[in-house]
Amino acid sequence: MHLAVTTMQIDLHTLYFLLVGTLLTGAAMMLWERMAQPFRATELGFWASGSVIFTAGAIMAMNRFSLPGITGLAAANILFVLGYLTWLHGVRLLDGPVGGVRWYAALLLALALLWAVAGVHFPAAFWNHVAALPIAAICGLTALVTYRCRALRRLRSRPLAVAIPAGHALFYCARAFVVPPLAAAYGPDILSVVAKITMYEAVLYSIAVPMTFVSLVREEAQDRLRAAARTDYLTGLSNRHGFFEQGEFMLAARGTDAPVSLLAFDLDHFKAINDRHGHATGDAVIRLFATVVRDLIRDVEVPDPVVARLGGEEFAALLPGRGLAEARRIGEAVAARFAETSVEGIRATVSVGLAEARPGRSDLGQLLANADRALYRAKALGRNRVEVAGPAAA
């Protein structure tokens, strides 16, 4: 309670100066981060620009009574709305290029006309209440876009990034709909209190949003680095590290009676292809096989498969929910499709080993070893075929 009283004693002009400082600090922070995050340079540029626009709006609001009529009030409000739209556009860009500039311009023009027509007669009501509505709507839309953003879906900071603009939207809804009856009941003096609360909340918001933006971008960059560490550069499939990381998790999470099969692949006579046609052609053959196995496993709608290049010409596919019979059909389909395709007129084949995990067991290394033994048998029996390990032993 004492803290609230102290806060109310802060001069409104001081809060404006504090807001300008925090906005400029946020803009500088995002521009600095922009140099380190070229992948999100455009978004960070928009967010930094939004903070600068907010700064211009705050300076205009501080001097609103120095300008004739409603010019200062209207200009400050329009600059604030433009700042919110700029932040919103940066969030929208996270999922790729978007339009909407005409809608932004239409909204700003409509707001300017509204100020010119009605704001002249009711400037106090517009500044204190009506002007809060577009801000509430834009912040609510920002929260919705953030929530639905595919790029942010797996980030830990996402709930916070949704909650901050959503809370800001609710605050401005209260300014539009709750404050007017309070002012009617308790007198206009309450508006000065609301103004100070609004500025205090604005200062907090001007700190929280840039920090959240930077956090999202950094977290996304870390996720990309982790994904790159788990991805084979040549094929885009998981590498050995990614295979064991995802595979162990999948085996641990499966039900005790849920089947899981593993297909081990090895391209036949691959060294001869490299020696005769060169490594560039060998790489093309590897990429072709990766495409075949990825496409066929996707076609049979295996839930959450883990397909990986384990090294060289060796691949593996972990198939949850698939028993030996279904997995064998998949392996045979991959071998048949690959044998029918060619790279620069070169046809290659693949040998396949298959093993199924024993119910209640989750040793991925042993499961792969069983599939490898079946693969060696496929090589010994003439290649370009699928061989199954003995009764589930992993």
Fold entry, domain 240-388:
Alpha-Beta Plaits (3.30.70)
| Paired tokens of 280 | 């560039």
Print the SS3 string covering the chain: CHHHHHHHCCCHHHHHHHHHHHHHHHHHHHHHHHHHCHHHHHHHHHHHHHHHHHHHHHHHHHCHHHCCCCHHHHHHHHHHHHHHHHHHHHHHHHHCCCCCHHHHHHHHHHHHHHHHHHHCCCHHHHHHHHCHHHHHHHHHHHHHHHHHCHHHCCCCCHHHHHHHHHHHHHHHHHHHHCHHHHHHHHCCHHHHHHHHHHHHHHHHHHHHHHHHHHHHHHHHHHHHHHHHHCECCCCCCECHHHHHHHHHHHHHHCCCCCCEEEEEEEECCHHHHHHHHCHHHHHHHHHHHHHHHHHHHHHCCCCCCEEEEEECCEEEEEEECCCHHHHHHHHHHHHHHHHHCCECCECCCEEEEEEECCCCCCCHHHHHHHHHHHHHHHHHCCCCCEEECCCCCC
Domains of the chain, by residue range, sit at: 2-229, 240-388
- Residue 288's pLDDT is 94
What confidence tens digit (pLDDT) does each residue in 24-66 have? 999 999 999 999 999 999 999 999 999 999 999 999 999 998 9
- 168-180 pLDDT, tens per residue? 999 999 999 999 9
Closest C-alpha among 2, 47, 8 to residue 28 = 47
Q: Which amino acid is at 132?
A: A
The pTM assigned to this predicted structure is 0.77
CA distance 198 to 225: 40
Residue 189: pLDDT above 60?
Answer: yes
Task: Please give the average per-residue pLDDT across 157-172, as a whole number.
Answer: 97
Identify the CATH number of the domain defined by range 2-229. 1.20.1070
Q: Return the pLDDT at 305.
A: 85
pLDDT for the residue 303 = 56
Residue 237 in this model has a pLDDT that exceeds 60: yes
Q: Which residue has the higher pLDDT, 227 or 77?
A: 77
Q: pLDDT tens across 330-348, in order? A: 999 999 999 999 888 888 9
Pairing between β-strand 350-356 and β-strand 386-388 as defined by DSSP bridges = parallel
Q: Name residue, tokens 């206009």.
A: 188
Q: Mean pLDDT across the chain, nearest whole number?
A: 90
pLDDT above 80: residue 122: yes
- For 11, 122, 148, 209, the CA distances from 162, given in Å and listed in that order, are 31, 34, 10, 10
Residue with the larger pLDDT of the pair 302 and 97: 97
For residue 50 the two structure tokens come to: 């939004």
pLDDT at res. 4: 40
217 pLDDT tier (thresholds 50, 70, 90): very high
Task: Kindly tell me if the per-residue pLDDT of 6 is higher than 70.
Answer: no
- pLDDT, average across residues 348-365: 86
């691959």: which residue's tokens?
A: 270
Q: How confident is the model at residue 392 (pLDDT cuts 50, 70, 90)?
A: very low
